[in-house]
């Protein structure tokens, strides 16, 4: 924000001096003449339009893809070589077990940027315009998340590529891997509503980051991503075995391994539905009263 005045001055100097073409009454009359209005767009159309906005933002500021490229690569390399030897005897063996889990962990962690984006974006004047449009109210938020799902898919592709290079050989083949990723995308989309809520609720970007970390670290580490929960104390097993992240990573791991873990899939989808229902509702309440 603090750079706004300088940018403005610079832009003013650069562009106002080379006179803007005058606005003529005839020209305006021509654009204003059409009084007819298109029919009200569907919820899906407006959500997609907002999703397109998210994609355009990625196009204009590609640096923001750092978190879905470099970060996941780092995660795969770090955990494979750090824990592989100790936990599974060899890094290649461990990778077969770890990769689906680390994929879940990284993508779930990336979801927190949704909250940050919502928080910085919502304060801008453009939201006043969006909120005065006669459209399905949640579409602005759904649009964000659609854009984010694209980012999650990119992160997944990057990690799978790195994994395949390092020796990850999923038995489920292309179909199993894709099924796992689709399930992960559905869960991440739903889980992101937690962050849209915090993005609207908290006052600064920093506090959104802080809260996200506090939720995400325990949630992702206290799961079956790195080790078998049987090695954990009983009380911790209770938490870990019921964590949505455990259900999700079991499901993704099994799908990529060629299985059909119906129960774990059902748990993951159930959690997804519950998250949308609870946090989506709260998000929209906050959005409408903002």
Partner 1 sequence: MSPPGADLAIETFGLVKVFGETRAVDGVDLAVPAGTVYGVLGPNGAGKTTAVKMLATLLRPDGGEARVFGHDVLREADAVRSRVSLTGQYASVDEDLTGRENLILLARLLGHRKPAAKERAAQLLDAFGLTEAADKQVKHYSGGMRRRIDIAASILNTPDLLFLDEPTTGLDPRSRNQVWDIVRAVVQQGATVLLTTQYLDEADQLASRIAVIDQGKVIAEGTKGELKASVGAGSVHVRLRHAEQRPEAERLLTQYLAAQVQLEHDPVALTARVGLAGDGGGAAEQAARALHELSRSGITVDNFSLGQPSLDEVFLALTDHPATGPDRATDPTDPTDPTDPTDPTDPTDPTDSTSPLDPTAARTPVGSGGPSKGPTSKGGAAK
| Residue in 66, 132, 165, 230 binding partner 1, rule: CB under 8 A | 132
Tell me whether residue 41 or residue 167 sits nearer to partner 1 (CB atom): 41
Asked if residues 201 and 161 have their Cβ atoms less than 8 Å apart, the reply is: no
Output the six-digit token pair for 205.
């970007």
| Residue in 34, 174, 233, 235 binding partner 1, rule: CB under 8 A | 34
63 is a contact residue toward partner 1 (CB under 8 A): no
The C-alpha torsion from 266 through 100 and 181 to 48, rounded to 10°, is 100
Q: CB of residue 110 vs partner 1: minimum separation in angstroms?
A: 20
43 is a contact residue toward partner 1 (CB under 8 A): no
Q: Which residues contact 54 (CB under 8 A, 6 or more apart)?
A: 143, 144, 146, 147, 148, 150
119 is a contact residue toward partner 1 (CB under 8 A): no
25 is a contact residue toward partner 1 (CB under 8 A): yes
230 is a contact residue toward partner 1 (CB under 8 A): no
Give, as one character, the DSSP assignment of residue 237. H
CA 284 to chain centroid, in Å, comes to: 18
Q: CB of residue 23 vs partner 1: minimum separation in angstroms?
A: 5
CB atoms near residue 232 (< 10 Å): 16
Q: CB of residue 201 vs partner 1: minimum separation in angstroms?
A: 15
12 is a contact residue toward partner 1 (CB under 8 A): yes
| Residue in 68, 135, 184, 276 binding partner 1, rule: CB under 8 A | 135
CB atoms near residue 214 (< 10 Å): 10
The CB-based long-range contact list for 83-87 (8 Å cut-off, 24+ gap) reads: 83/226, 87/226, 87/227
Tell me whether residue 34 or residue 231 sits nearer to partner 1 (CB atom): 34
174 is a contact residue toward partner 1 (CB under 8 A): no
Q: CB of residue 206 vs partner 1: minimum separation in angstroms?
A: 14
């Amino acid at each position: 924000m603090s750079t706004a005045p300088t940018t403005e001055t610079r832009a003013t100097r650069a562009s106002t001096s080379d006179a803007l073409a005058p606005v003529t009454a005839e020209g305006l009359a021509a654009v204003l003449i059409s009084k007819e209005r298109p029919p009200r767009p569907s919820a899906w159309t407006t959500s997609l339009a907002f999703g397109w906005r998210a994609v355009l933002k990625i196009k204009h500021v590609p640096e923001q893809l750092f978190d879905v490229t470099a970060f996941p690569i780092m995660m795969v390399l770090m955990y494979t070589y750090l824990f592989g030897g100790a936990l599974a005897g060899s890094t290649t063996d461990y990778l077969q077990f770890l990769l689906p889990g680390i994929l879940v962990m990284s993508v779930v962690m990336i979801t927190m940027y949704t909250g940050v984006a919502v928080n910085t974006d919502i304060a801008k004047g453009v939201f006043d315009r969006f909120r005065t449009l006669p459209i399905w109210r949640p579409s602005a938020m759904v649009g964000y998340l659609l854009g984010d799902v694209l980012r999650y898919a990119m992160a997944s592709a990057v990690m799978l590529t790195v994994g395949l290079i390092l020796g990850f050989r999923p038995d489920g083949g292309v179909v199993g891997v894709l099924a796992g990723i689709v399930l992960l995308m559905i869960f991440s989309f739903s889980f992101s509503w937690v962050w849209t809520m915090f993005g609207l609720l908290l006052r600064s970007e920093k506090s959104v980051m802080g809260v996200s970390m506090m939720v995400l670290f325990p949630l992702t580490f206290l799961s079956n991503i790195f080790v078998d929960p049987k090695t954990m104390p009983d009380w911790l097993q209770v938490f870990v075995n019921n964590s949505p992240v455990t259900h999700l990573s079991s499901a993704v791991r099994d799908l990529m391994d060629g299985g059909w873990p119906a129960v774990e899939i059902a748990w993951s989808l159930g959690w997804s539905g519950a998250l949308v229902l609870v946090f989506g509702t709260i998000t929209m309440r906050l959005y409408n009263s903002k």
